[in-house]
């Protein structure tokens, strides 16, 4: 039923039917209607089967269009998807753990994820790809580079919309903060990050990407004590090797639902740490 019918055999659609379809907001069905009519005749499809086939095309088109619009609103790069998550060099994956991450169970449990590693291992691509998966599952997503996020919040102070913007960021189901802790954070940025994570903690999920170890983050903040007050108490870390550096083993044994994920790319190391809410 998926074989295409030669163009010469496709039936024409009369103007009245076209007008009726457009009147009931089904004008885009005309894109596939001639082919579906030809297929129905060739296969002697019952009327109900033909209608199901035609409407399935329309539902698929609307779902695809909706996902594209919501991904654009979320500021997700359309080219950074799971199916494009490859490199020019050889890469190896722990498929079980990778699939666990892509299942978005951490999102269902309102847990966060840190995606850490040096430049070029695909941190942003992976985080964005997870955002696209969430979009297709009709979950709310917002993507922002850390510097852009802080600039947006500073601008919101100028027009007295800070509370509205913070509520929006606090409520979105998946917030992706990219390239966090690339530079020193002033007191306003440190405070905004703290308040945002506190509001989202154990309520919604946050993905943070960074090329710095979390232990280095506090040295870049104007008030390190504030940044660690609400650090998640149940965070499990994958023991992994990156060049000459070995991250410490977990202090507790991860549970089944809190299994961390590690992704190795040709000698470089990307480390994903999941925790109970917030990053």
For 62-96, the pLDDT digits (tens) are 999 999 999 999 999 999 999 898 755 444 555 77
For 216-260, the pLDDT digits (tens) are 988 898 876 555 444 433 333 333 233 333 333 333 333 434 444
User: What residues form DSSP beta bridges with 205?
Assistant: 174
Half-sphere exposure of 266 (CA within 13 A, CB side): 9
Where does the pLDDT of residue 274 fall: very low under 50, low under 70, confident under 90, or very high at 90 and above? low
For 174-205, the pLDDT digits (tens) are 999 999 999 999 999 999 999 999 999 989 99
Question: Could you tell me the pTM of the whole model?
Answer: 0.74
Q: Which residue, chain included where needed, has tokens 């232990």?
A: 215
Alpha-carbon distance 230 to 277, whole Å? 10
Q: Which domains does the chain have, with CATH numbers?
A: 14-73 (no CATH), 82-275 (3.40.50.300)
Transcribe 172-196 into DSSP letters. -SEEEEESTTSS---HHHHHHHHHH
């Amino acid at each position: 039923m998926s074989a295409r019918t030669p163009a010469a055999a496709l039936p024409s659609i009369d103007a009245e039917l076209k007008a009726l379809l457009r009147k009931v907001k089904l004008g885009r069905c005309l894109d596939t209607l001639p082919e579906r009519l030809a297929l129905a005749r060739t296969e002697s499809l019952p009327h109900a089967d033909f209608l199901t086939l035609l409407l399935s095309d329309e539902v698929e088109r609307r779902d695809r269009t909706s996902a594209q619009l919501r991904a654009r609103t979320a500021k997700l790069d359309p080219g950074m998807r799971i199916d494009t998550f490859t490199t020019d060099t050889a890469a190896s994956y722990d498929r079980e753990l990778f699939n666990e991450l892509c299942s978005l169970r951490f999102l269902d449990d309102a847990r966060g994820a840190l995606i850490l590693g040096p430049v070029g291992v695909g941190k942003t691509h992976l985080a964005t790809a997870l955002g696209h998966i969430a979009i297709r599952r009709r979950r709310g997503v917002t993507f922002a580079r850390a510097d852009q996020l802080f600039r947006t919040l500073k601008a919101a102070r100028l027009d007295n919309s800070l509370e509205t913007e913070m509520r929006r960021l606090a409520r979105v189901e998946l917030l992706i903060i990219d390239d966090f802790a690339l530079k020193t954070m002033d007191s306003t940025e440190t405070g905004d990050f703290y308040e945002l994570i506190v509001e989202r903690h154990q309520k919604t999920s946050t993905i943070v990407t960074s090329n710095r170890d979390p232990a280095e983050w506090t040295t870049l903040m104007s008030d390190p004590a504030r940044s660690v007050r609400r650090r998640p108490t149940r965070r499990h870390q994958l023991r992994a090797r990156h060049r000459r550096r070995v991250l410490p083993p977990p202090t507790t044994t991860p549970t089944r639902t809190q299994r961390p994920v590690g992704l190795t790319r040709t000698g470089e190391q990307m480390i994903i740490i999941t925790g109970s809410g917030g990053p």
